Every structure is written in structure tokens, then in C-alpha cells.
Amino acid sequence: MGELPVGRRVAYWRGRRRLSQQVFADRLGKSKSWVDKVERGVRALDKVSTLQEIATVLRIDPAVLLGRDARPVEVSTRVDEVERIRVALSRYEVPLGRPPGSRPVLSAGRLARQVGHAWTTFQYARYPLLVGLLPDLLGDAQRTHAADPAAGWVPLVHTYRLTAALLVKLGDPESAWLAADRAMIAATGDRSLVAAAAVQLGQVLRAAGRVRVAKSAMLAAAYRVTAGVPGRGADLSLCGTLLVQAALAAAQDGDDSAVAELLDEAAGLAAEVGDGLDHHWTGFGPTAVALARTAAAVDLGDAGQAIAWHHSGIRRDGWRWLPTEHRAAHLIDAARAHLHTDDAFSAGRLLAEADRTAPAEVRHRPAGRDLLAHLARDPRTPTTITHLAITLGVG
């Protein structure tokens, strides 16, 4: 928190003490304009005596204003979170014949229910809870598959998919790549399962910066899943989601014509699928494609268009049917767009909305924490962002 400007700390603590700028100024014997300039960083606080006077009025230690006594809320570090899952991925109990301990082998039906619960946990962005669930779930899925390969096959693939999705969120594409690779290998032989696993592979490759490889793999999987078979809602959702992944990879590569073509194709499939079905935990539908246009426009550097797509997308009926995680992630993308237009206030407002929608998207996801740290240093940002940054120790 040492990087957070002193003026923003003053504004935060003044708000905590429920003092208006005028009342605060009166107690200091200063003008309201002086307080406003201090809080916006226009006027420096370079006198110890002034800092002491402010601290006295705010009833805090002067060291707090200098960031030397910040006590952030205790949260697990991303390193610790990721390490627990890495350990689970490296156990190799089944192939090495290691004893499974006291946990019984679950039936495929019970495992499938637990995997479904874990995916729901992810979609509600309860990432710390999922970190606690996944290590045992990975072991359970591997043991069930070993005991009953035919019935344990599908939940094993979806467990690896979920692991990859969470690791991408927590900022570890290398470990996510391992989980996605296992999902792809386990899914071999069923093109729908391969397509489902490929969704997470695309996320991993994009997070690792392998955008051209991602685009190629996503297109191959997309056109394979619907080749030669009547269009079913689940397969159309997978195909459309993979086209979206390919478009986002193209956006990262700066290929605006490919982005437009792929998202238009995805939109055509989305119109057939409709909103609110969430096949294979993809959330695919017309609204998801509209929101993807926002993310793509941000990466292409067209912030104005990104903001327009954002406003269009959130007005759709399908917006409220999307998973909580999806909506909060989109709000972070929209905040990035506003930041690119130098509108820190709107960016901060959207980031605060993302935190209300799904706190872990801001507090545990690197993209959210990085944006929070950037905005907290901007005097134009809403004070709620300063409050959040100080609470989390981000700065």
C-alpha cells in the first residue's frame, strides 16, 4: 500500500470518519479547496506538522497516512492457492500405484454430482472455496475413472477442465496448461468432450500468449464438433464458444478482420442456441457473444467501440442469466475500456460493481487486483476503490 498517494489515504479516512470536506477543513483550520486539492494529489503534504494535525482530526496514527501501518484483510496469496492444486496434479496416485489413503472410491454418479457442484462454485466465483475442493476432487476423479473407466470418463474430463479454468483465473497458465492437456488427452475419442476440453485449452493458450496456436486449435475443434452431424444445442454451444475463443485470440494478435468474421459466425450459432442454457458450462448465447465483442475491442485498442458493446450487452435479457463469474469478468473488461479513454471514474465505478457482483474476480484474480492497484493511485477514482485497495493491501 506504500504506493497509494497520501491524499487518497486522507480521503479514505475522512470518509471512514463520516466527515464532509467542509467539516474536515473547518477542524483543520483550512479551506475546503485546500482539502480537495490534497485529496486529489494536486497539493503535496510535505510537512510533518500538517500530517500530525490531519492524523489527530482523523483519530489515526500519522504512520497510517504514510502506509506504514496498513493491516490488510488476511487472504490466501495466489502462490499458496495455486501450490495446493499443483500438488494435487502431481500426486499420480493411480499410475504409480500409491495407496489412496482413507478416501473411498466414489461411484461415477456421485462423482458427477460433485463435479457439477464444483462447476457451480466456479461460476459463482467462489475461488477460495474451490481451491479447497479441487485437490480431493482431482484424486476422486482419477480413482473413479481407474475403477470404472466407461462411467468415470466424462467427470474426469470435466474435472480437468475446471482445474484449468480456475488456474487461468488465478494467474498460473503453466499449471493450467497441464490440466488442459490432461483434459484433451482424456477426452480423446469423443468429439464433443474434446471440444469441451478445447475451450479451456484456448483460455490457457491465450493466457500464455500463444495466440496464433490458440486460434488454429480452436478453429479445428470448432468445425470438428459439428462436422457431419445435425446441429444440437450442446454441440452448437461448444462450436460457438470455440469460435469466440478463436476471435479473442485473433484480437490479441491484432487481426481485426478475423475478429469480426469469427464473432459474426458465433453470433449466428448463438441465435440458434438462445440465452440461458449453459451447455457444458460455457454460458454460450447471444449475450455471451455480445460481451465477447467488448473484450475483443479492448484488445484491438478500440475502447470507444468496446464501451458501446458493453452498454448494448448488459441491456440484453440474457445478461442476468449469465454466471456470476462471467458478468464480473465482463465488468472488468469494460472497466479496462474506460481506463483506456482516460475515464478513471467510470472505470472505478465498474470495478466496484464487479466487486459487488463477484468479489473474488477482483480480490483473487490478478487482472482484477492489477486494475484495482492502478485505479487506486488515480485521484479521479471513486473513494470506494481507495477503500477496497486499502482493505486488501493493494497498491
Stretch (H or E) spanning 231:
none
How far is the C-alpha of 282 from the C-alpha of 122, rounded, in Å?
12
**Among 374, 371, 342, 339, which Cα is nearest to 354's?**
371
| Residue 157 contacts residue 183 (beta carbons within 8 Å) | yes
Out of 5-9, 110-114, 260-264, which region has the weakest mean confidence (pLDDT)?
A: 5-9
Residue 75 has a pLDDT of 43
Average pLDDT for 175-181: 96
How far is the C-alpha of 225 from the C-alpha of 219, rounded, in Å?
10
Out of 58-67, 186-195, 217-226, 359-368, which region has the weakest mean confidence (pLDDT)?
A: 58-67
**Among 218, 214, 211, which Cα is nearest to 239's?**
218
Assess whether pLDDT exceeds 70 at residue 71: no
How far is the C-alpha of 326 from the C-alpha of 348, rounded, in Å?
19
Out of 1.10.260.40, 1.20.120.450, 3.40.50.2300, 1.10.357.20, the CATH code matching 6-65 is 1.10.260.40
Is residue 324 exposed (0-12), middle (13-18) or buried (19+ Cβ within 10 Å)? middle
Residue 100 has a pLDDT of 66
| Residue 12 contacts residue 383 (beta carbons within 8 Å) | yes
pTM of model > 0.85: no
Check residues 12 and 395 and name the one with the higher pLDDT. Answer: 12
Amino acid at 108: A
| Residue 352 contacts residue 389 (beta carbons within 8 Å) | no
The C-alpha angle 368, 371, 377, rounded to 5 degrees, equals 140
Stretch (H or E) spanning 382:
none
Residue 72 has a pLDDT of 45
Read off the pLDDT band of 240 (50, 70, 90): very high
How far is the C-alpha of 24 from the C-alpha of 37, rounded, in Å?
13
Average pLDDT for 341-346: 94
Report residue 323: phi and psi, to 5°. -55, 150
Assess whether pLDDT exceeds 70 at residue 1: no
Average pLDDT for 262-273: 96
Assess whether pLDDT exceeds 50 at residue 293: yes
Average pLDDT for 115-133: 96
**Among 51, 67, 127, which Cα is nearest to 393's?**
67
Average pLDDT for 235-263: 97
Average pLDDT for 264-287: 95
| C-alpha to C-alpha distances, 125 to 76, 148, 177, 257, 357, nearest whole angstrom | 15, 31, 21, 33, 9
For 89, other C-beta atoms within 10 Å of its C-beta total: 17
* pLDDT one-digit tens code per residue, 313-332: 999 999 999 999 999 999 99
Assess whether pLDDT exceeds 50 at residue 231: yes
High-pLDDT (> 70) share of the chain, %: 92
High-pLDDT (> 90) share of the chain, %: 70
| Residue 292 contacts residue 248 (beta carbons within 8 Å) | yes
Average pLDDT, rounded, for the chain: 90
Average pLDDT for 265-277: 95
Read off the pLDDT band of 49 (50, 70, 90): confident
Assess whether pLDDT exceeds 60 at residue 48: yes
Residue with cell 492497484: 373
**Among 76, 117, 127, which Cα is nearest to 325's?**
127
Out of 3-12, 128-137, 303-312, 331-340, which region has the weakest mean confidence (pLDDT)?
A: 3-12
Instruction: Pinpoint the residues of the chain covered by CATH 1.10.260.40.
Output: 6-65
Read off the pLDDT band of 385 (50, 70, 90): confident
DSSP string, 12-34: HHHHHTT--HHHHHHHHT--HHH
Given CA atoms 22, 25, 29, 35 in this order, what sign does their dihedral have? negative
How far is the C-alpha of 287 from the C-alpha of 284, rounded, in Å?
8
Average pLDDT for 4-27: 86
Average pLDDT for 160-169: 97
| Residue 363 contacts residue 332 (beta carbons within 8 Å) | no
3-class state of residue 279 by DSSP: helix
